[in-house]
């Protein structure tokens, strides 16, 4: 039996939205989930900080946990540091990028929104995705650090009024052409965790899409034919500082992460 885990990495708990569909496809796989809580949030950091921090941290994690595969379950880290991580590590690395292609395929009005962090929405990587897959669409972007914090708070059991979500969405719908938006890309893995709140706060019916299901299928493909333990054992959540991980413990357990460690 091969006990090497699949390692998921994010600045916080957003990557749980990618972990969940992957666990559903690979129920016997051991998982390690890493939240870089000491560096949280990535969306307000500079490109240089992220480009230096992420490859170094994932190198340490690869040495410690010996994963068979790493998923960078963070759009900001992926759009900035994915190539450097792949160059540094001798194992498969799966990134997370904004789901602009499926959004364009779904849109009837040809106006789509990209809702991410400030760092993600300004990346040339997003420019390239829009040019390649949504050239006939108006692509409206908005970055929100507050929405990342709201998602983290929700997993700690804290509620927030819908008007806070509505104010964030106004950053998309209030732009020219925003009244025609019919599909929004959740370009941060935190945002699917508050999908119900976003849908309820939107001024009209709109579809939200993300890449989590596609990432899960990619992980399943890359590990096809590999052996797994008969039972995966307890999942491990790792934090780079102590922070409020105790408050997150109940939510983490719901994702199969019953053991919590510090790096």
Residues known to be catalytic: 74, 188
Cα distances from 32 to residues 61, 237, 258, in angstroms, run 10, 6, 11
Tokens of 131: 């040019």
For residues 145 and 115, give the distance between their C-alpha atoms in angstroms, rounded to a whole number. Answer: 11
For residues 125 and 21, give the distance between their C-alpha atoms in angstroms, rounded to a whole number. Answer: 25
- Are 29 and 5 in contact by the 8 Å Cβ rule? The answer is yes
CA dihedral for 92, 219, 41, 115, sign (positive or negative): positive
For 199, counting Cβ atoms within 10 Å of its Cβ (0-12 exposed, 13-18 middle, 19+ buried), the class is: middle
For residues 222 and 105, give the distance between their C-alpha atoms in angstroms, rounded to a whole number. Answer: 26
- Are 97 and 124 in contact by the 8 Å Cβ rule? The answer is no
């Amino acid at each position: 039996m091969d006990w090497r885990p699949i390692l998921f990495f994010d600045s916080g708990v957003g990557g749980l939205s990618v972990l969940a569909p992957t666990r559903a496809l690979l129920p016997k796989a051991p998982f390690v989930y890493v939240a870089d809580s000491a560096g949280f949030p990535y969306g307000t950091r500079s490109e240089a900080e992220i480009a230096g921090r992420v490859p170094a941290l994932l190198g340490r994690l690869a040495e410690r946990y010996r994963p068979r595969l790493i998923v960078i379950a963070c759009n900001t880290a992926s759009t900035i540091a994915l190539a450097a991580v792949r160059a540094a590590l001798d194992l498969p690395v799966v990134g997370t990028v904004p789901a602009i292609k499926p959004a364009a395929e779904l849109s009837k009005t040809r106006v789509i929104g990209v809702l991410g962090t400030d760092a993600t929405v300004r990346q040339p990587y997003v420019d390239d995705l829009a040019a390649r897959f949504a050239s006939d669409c108006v692509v409206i972007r908005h970055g929100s650090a507050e929405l990342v914090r709201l998602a983290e708070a929700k997993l700690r059991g804290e509620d927030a009024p819908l008007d806070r979500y509505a104010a964030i969405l106004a950053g998309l719908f209030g732009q020219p052409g925003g009244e025609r938006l019919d599909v929004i890309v959740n370009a941060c893995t935190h945002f699917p965790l508050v999908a119900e709140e976003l849908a309820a706060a939107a001024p009209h019916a709109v579809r939200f899409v993300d890449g989590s299901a596609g990432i899960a299928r990619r992980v399943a493909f890359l590990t096809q034919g590999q052996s797994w333990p008969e039972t995966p054992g307890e999942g491990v959540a790792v934090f780079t500082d102590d922070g409020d991980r105790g408050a997150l413990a109940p939510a983490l357990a719901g994702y199969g992460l019953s053991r919590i460690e510090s790096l």
